Structure 1
């Protein structure tokens, strides 16, 4: 394993020459139909206003697709289907106001870049999904876009279609976090993919997958009318990022061990442990253990911030296609290492989830204010998000098969962890960002090594 440029890499470095962008062209894709006048001003609710105006970076890789139509024709189909998609997701084709409090749905459209990359797809797939411009995924995205702040002069979304020397393809998409969360993001990409792989005149067959703009239903809103948009400055990268895989077989072994411990301690539970709960708890425990080791064995008060999709939690539940930042944090503070036992953490996660169920609105549950709250209390926050079971693979066939890999590139800040399914669903992949010394201790943790693969 080699540490270079602040990144942990688990494969030989790909040289700058190999990652050279041979060519890059840019066109503009506008919505297929104009946004109605009454929808031109898209007011952002509190749960969007309090999110950072950063670009989220998603990339989908396709291995040398066997396309019956010429590639130029396929690119045209991609653009046409994207144009129709933007008509449905009309705020994504606009720009943030200078205050950041609403979207001017001006139908300006988005940039569509096409690039030729002088390396094989396989060389990229061997690397962890980090944003470095020379040794990572940076050149596969529009310049200066991965987790970057969005100037008011720039579009909320952009796409780069990458062609590799071997014939493989990668579709890189960036989207403002101010207007969407991860589920909104992949739902939009899924809609685009399904439209692209079908007859473009069959859009009416996708009505049940059309976006649902629900913020007006999440009352009360009047209590937050005086809120202004969050001003978030992208931090300088002071962390190391790496990718870790938890095979289902090892997670099942951990589950069996915990269930046996529970029985021995007379703690028989009706609910079984889920792999998502176990991996979340294990990652948090090992991260705080690593920080304790870095601090000469002194435990620092910490808090697990577990991202929660509020769509199925709110009463009544919201559609999966609901657009916006409909997420909050399930927060579990721990003041001692003893409180980071896996079964204890899982129990606290479930307790927090029960308290969220039946919520009538997002007011008071906005995600980022909780980070500020715990920072003021001198807690070290670890944000862990799971996008497992999101349709990154089964619903992103643009007409040439499912992707061989999907990735959200890097993380926006330190002590952040993102979990997602492996392509074959035989495990969970976690992209972990920690400070350098914490990462060294983390990767040497025996408990982690017993259940993870590197």
Structure 2
């Protein structure tokens, strides 16, 4: 009898996460794309990316009453339509095995769903793609980091979720072939601004997109064949860890004392990002070593670097495309993963990128990853949107969101860093293999400065 009750409670709990209803429509640009812009050639670096969706979600707990009679879905749809007039490639379709976008104004998919649970129940969960344990059901089925059909799929897919408590979540998928994280954030900022101020479009010129073909025409080489690749089925664990600013300050003070004891002369002036990145890598490599019976495996840290401000001349922040590179810091011994050593390597690698004239001078992301995979390095990837004014600009007209995150990742050993909603720390979505995650979660050095988010 007790077993039946437990089973019944488990079934009810799972049902609470189910989608009650889901409707679909297509949103097209408010104004047609001019004939001379119908073909959007992708840059060399764009073509190096598989055609996978990047998935991000924004949560709003108590949406404020809209001032006009318009409904929330209509406000989002109308402002999205206006945004697509400027971001016109996003309403098109990939052609020629993904080498260019046919800007045919077919539109983006917009879903509206009703979810049979409260927002608070969802916020307890990690940003994993699983339907039951994570956020997967808040996106259209099978769209989280999924391979998109090259010729038929929308480049952007949106789902507006309504929770039983009145809270909402806006889930968006962008194909990585055409955008990086900075482009995604720029688009969301522009869309939110149009939604918040529908009659103020003329004052949003500073948020308009710029295109690589206008700024770096040599980067659009029609002879470069687009990468065709897929990623494995998920075999890792996704969790979230939070580093409060107070703990990061302790880490900094402890590291500065250690530097003095070690005779480090130069003043590192550690940043929050540097300290957290170095500690994450250090502890994850230590966890992998523990899982491997204490045998160190050659490893490499890949750190994403936005090139927009580093190129000579610099490119606008709203430039569309994959304009980031991977700094790569290989390590072969435990001594090489000391925090001061890792920070020194990160800075040196970034300095070497400053003043580069063209993205064509930089090794592509996928070829670089392929090179390290051939030498059997264990690869770790870290990216960050810390310092982006996320919680200040993503107001669609009903107030600030309470949480925002990229959902999961397409491969193992990934770290995605962002400021906490209250800006009192850094929250990190972590992907590690199960055995490595066990050791990682028990690492005393990590736990001295961070805590894991767990379901209550």
Distance 1:122 1:72, change over 3 A: farther
Q: Which residue of 1 aligns with 2:199?
A: 201
Gaps of 5+ in 1: 1-11
Q: 1:42 to 1:372 in 2, by over 3 A?
A: same
Q: Deviations over 1:319-375 (max 9, x none)?
A: 111110000011100011110000000001000011111111111332222111111
Give me the whole-angstrom Cα distance separating, in 2, the residues matched to 1:76 and 1:258: 52
- The answer on 1:269 being equivalent to 2:266 is yes
* 1:219–1:361 CA contact under 8 A, matched in 2: no
Instruction: Give ranges in structure 2 of 5+ residues lacking alignment.
Output: 1-9
Contact 2:43 2:212 in 1 (8 A): no
Q: If the length of structure 2 is used for normalisation, what is the TM-score?
A: 0.94
Structural RMSD (CA): 1.6
Cα deviation per residue 1:78-130 (whole Å; 9 max; x = unaligned)?
11100000011001111111411000100000111111111110000111111
Q: Does 1:52 align with 2:12?
A: no
2:41 touches 2:222 (CA, 8 Å); kept in 1? Answer: no
User: Deviation digits for residues 286-308 of structure 1, max 9, x if unmatched?
Assistant: 11111111111110000010110
Q: Report the equivalent of 1:184.
A: 183
Structure 2 partner of 1:122: 120
Q: Is the 8 A contact 1:300 1:379 kept in 2?
A: yes
Superposition map of 1:34-49 within 5 A: 34-49=32-47
User: For the Cα contact (< 8 Å) 1:16–1:135, is it kept in 2?
Assistant: no
1:317 aligns with 2:314: yes
Alpha-carbon shift at residue 24 of structure 1 (Å): 0.8
| Residue of structure 1 equivalent to 2:239 | 242
* Compared CA separation, residues 71 and 177, structure 1 to 2 (3 A): farther
What is the Cα deviation at residue 14 of structure 1? 8.4
SS where residue 392 of structure 2 aligns? coil
Q: How many pairs does the alignment contain?
A: 441
- Mapped partners of 1:278, 1:209: distance in 2: 32
2:286 is matched with: 289
Secondary structure of the residue aligned to 1:231 is coil
**CA deviation vs aligned residue, 1:50-99 (integer Å, no higher than 9, x gap):** 01211011100001212145886222111110000001100111111141
Q: Distance in 2 between matches of 1:162 and 1:414?
A: 28
The equivalent of 2:7 in structure 1 is none
> Is the 1:304–1:382 Cα contact (8 Å) retained in structure 2?
yes
Match of 1:400 in 2: 398
- 1:170 maps onto 2:169 in alignment: yes
Matched residue, 1:4: none
Supply the distance in 2 between the matched residues of 1:449 and 1:38 (Cα, whole angstroms).
56
Three-state SS of the structure 2 residue aligned to 1:320 is coil
Is 135-144 or 335-344 further displaced after alignment?
Answer: 135-144
1:339 to 330, 336, 339: 336
CA shift at 1:226, angstroms? 2.8
Select 1:433's aligned residue among 426, 431, 434.
431
Task: Return the offset for 1:135.
Answer: 2.3
Quote the offset at 1:207 in angstroms.
Answer: 0.6
Describe how 1:154-169 pairs up with structure 2 within 5 A.
154-169=153-168
Distance between the aligned counterparts of 1:270 and 1:336, measured in 2?
24
Distance change in 2, residues 1:372/1:108 (3 Å): same
1:217 Cα deviation from its structure 2 partner:
2.6
Q: Which residue of 2 aligns with 1:9?
A: none
Conservation of the 8 A alpha-carbon contact between 2:66 and 2:398: no
TM score, norm. by length of structure 1? 0.94
Aligned partner of residue 200 in structure 2, secondary structure? helix
Q: Take 1:215 and 1:417, find their aligned partners in 2: how far apart are those partners? A: 31
How far, CA to CA, are the matches of 1:425 and 1:431 in structure 2? 16
Asked if the contact 2:193/2:396 (under 8 Å) is kept, the reply is yes
Is this contact kept in 2: 1:239–1:435, CA < 8 A?
yes
Alpha-carbon deviations, 1:186-242, whole Å to 9, x = none?
Answer: 1101100011011x23211101110011244336437x5432111121311111111
TM-superposed CA distance for 1:390, in Å, is 2.2
CA contact (8 A) 1:14 1:123 kept: no
Corresponding position: 1:305 with 2:318:
no
SS of the equivalent of 1:189 reads helix
Q: Provide the rounded CA distance (Å) in 1 between the counterparts of 2:70 and 2:116.
A: 19
| 1:108 matches 2:98 | no
Rounded Cα–Cα distance in structure 1 between residues aligned with 2:222 and 2:11: 50
Q: Which consecutive segments of 4 or more residues in structure 1 shift more than 4 A?
A: 69-72
Q: What are the Cα deviations for residues 236-263 of structure 1, in whole angstroms up to 9, with x where unaligned? A: 1111111111111111101001111222
